[in-house]
């Protein structure tokens, strides 16, 4: 209860500091609000409405913002309040876990610079984050139908949410390979089916748009959205961001963190692959540097480091994240699924790790809650243990 009270105070301060979220549209809100108005005229949007808005992501956030405006006439403030409430619920869902460090996990998420930003502005990210987290919690709770439904809503908010049901489908396949129990296999089959249905939910949008984004937005941005177009440097920057925003805070919170535990050859292979990848596709130009809020880690690093030192720094962070998630555990599969999907991201941006970051902090809280502090059984296999002690 103390943690909930602290978060309530923080959010009350934010609400009053930002003028009850009632201020003129700024930054990307300008075109997001235009798309919201586009969907405010009718409850049931036509196919033409779904095709003719000028933004790259799927339309559920714009539809909700538009309908809130239609019903309340609050303007952008209505959509901002929705985002604000969802961000608050996300934090609460993490800190209420029966874990003595859950509050620290919630604070670490609040400190991520794009969490509060997307929670007080008319941005599309928070609805995706909210539904992804609910889908993840339902998945962990053995409710595959609800999990699938929430992931469908997440994909209808941002296309890159596809990484989560895709990762969970891969995890289900791994679980099937590990068990011969008929009852467990039947549950896994149903879960995998739910994740597959969630993946298929992107198909109707592709059919409506005749592509992966609305045709007007594709023409406006001039982006190459063909299936063969990939950006090999963006997964590297994504991994570096996870190392900086998740693994380093995790080390500080845990005070003694085993980063990797396994046979020696696996981390060596990972280091070699990551280093070669950096040599071939260094993430030198990740964002539009004229926009000060984009790529904060990249801009901070540019302010202190030369290009070569910046690449070494990013490489070390990526290796740190890679070794942290070098396993077949659920959190690791989700991490790699998200990182690989960044091959299709047109820009490399810290903000893109937000849904993953929320799930990772929640996963830690839930795993620790399940484990209940019990000591793990020691394996007889030889291990390489990398630990950070404070």
Read off the pLDDT of each residue in 322-326 and give the average, rounded to a whole number: 92
Give the model's confidence band at 368: pLDDT under 50 very low, under 70 low, under 90 confident, else very high: low
Give the model's confidence band at 265: pLDDT under 50 very low, under 70 low, under 90 confident, else very high: confident
Residue whose tokens read 């045709």: 215
Read off the pLDDT of each residue in 329-355 and give the average, rounded to a whole number: 93
Handedness of CA 161, 218, 207, 61 (dihedral sign): positive
pLDDT value at residue 225:
74
pLDDT digits over 293-313, tens only? 788 999 889 889 999 999 999
The region of weakest confidence among 72-76, 107-111, 244-248, 292-296 is 292-296
What does the mean pLDDT of the chain come to? 89
Burial code (b: 16+ CB inside 10 Å, e: under 16) for 221-234 equals: eeeebeeeeebebb
Exposed/middle/buried for residue 177 (C-beta within 10 Å: 0-12, 13-18, 19+): exposed
Q: 263 and 381 in contact (C-beta within 8 Å)? A: yes
The phi and psi torsions of 45 (rounded to 5 degrees) equal: -70, 145
- 166, two tokens: 């895709």
Residue whose tokens read 């700024």: 26
Strands (E), the chain: 256-262, 384-389
Angle at 110 (CA atoms; ends 350, 149), nearest 5 degrees: 75
Q: 167 and 333 in contact (C-beta within 8 Å)? A: yes
Coil/strand/helix, residue 299: helix
More confident position, 204 or 259: 204
**Number of neighbours of residue 34 by Cβ within 10 angstroms:** 14
The region of weakest confidence among 12-16, 96-100, 157-161 is 96-100
Exposed/middle/buried for residue 271 (C-beta within 10 Å: 0-12, 13-18, 19+): middle
């Amino acid at each position: 209860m103390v943690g909930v009270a602290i978060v309530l105070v923080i959010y009350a301060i934010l609400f009053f500091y930002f003028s009850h979220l009632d201020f003129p549209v700024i930054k990307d809100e300008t075109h997001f609000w235009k798309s919201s108005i586009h969907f405010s005229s009718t409850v049931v949007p036509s196919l033409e409405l779904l095709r003719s808005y000028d933004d790259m992501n799927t339309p559920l956030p714009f539809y909700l913002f538009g309908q809130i405006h239609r019903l309340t006439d609050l303007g952008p403030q209505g959509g901002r309040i929705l985002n604000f409430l969802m961000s608050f619920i996300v934090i609460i869902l993490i800190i209420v876990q029966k874990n003595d460090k859950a509050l620290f996990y919630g604070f670490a998420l609040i400190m991520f610079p794009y969490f509060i930003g997307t929670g007080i502005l008319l941005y599309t990210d928070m609805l995706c984050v909210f539904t992804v987290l609910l889908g993840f919690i339902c998945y962990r709770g053995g409710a595959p139908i609800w999990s699938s439904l929430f992931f469908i809503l997440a994909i209808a908010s941002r296309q890159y949410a596809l990484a989560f049901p895709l990762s969970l489908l891969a995890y289900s396949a791994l679980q099937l390979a590990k068990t011969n129990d008929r009852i467990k296999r039947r549950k896994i089959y149903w879960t995998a089916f739910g994740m597959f249905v969630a993946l298929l939910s992107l198909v109707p949008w592709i059919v409506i748009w005749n592509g992966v984004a609305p045709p007007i937005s594709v023409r406006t941005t001039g982006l190459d959205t063909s299936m063969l177009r990939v950006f090999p440097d963006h997964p590297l920057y994504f991994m570096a961001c996870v190392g900086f925003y998740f693994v380093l805070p995790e080390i500080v919170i845990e005070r003694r963190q085993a980063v990797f535990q396994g046979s020696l050859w696996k981390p060596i292979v990972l280091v070699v692959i990551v280093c070669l990848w950096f040599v071939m596709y260094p993430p030198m130009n990740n964002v539009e540097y004229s926009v000060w809020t984009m790529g904060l880690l990249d801009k901070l690093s540019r302010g202190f480091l030369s290009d070569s030192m910046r690449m070494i720094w990013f490489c070390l962070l990526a290796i740190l994240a890679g070794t942290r998630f070098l396993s077949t555990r659920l959190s690791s599969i989700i991490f790699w699924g998200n990182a690989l999907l960044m091959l299709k991201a047109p820009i490399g941006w810290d903000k893109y790790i937000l849904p993953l970051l929320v799930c990772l902090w929640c996963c830690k809280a839930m795993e620790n809650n399940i484990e209940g502090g019990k000591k793990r059984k020691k394996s007889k296999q030889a291990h390489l243990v990398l630990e950070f002690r404070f």
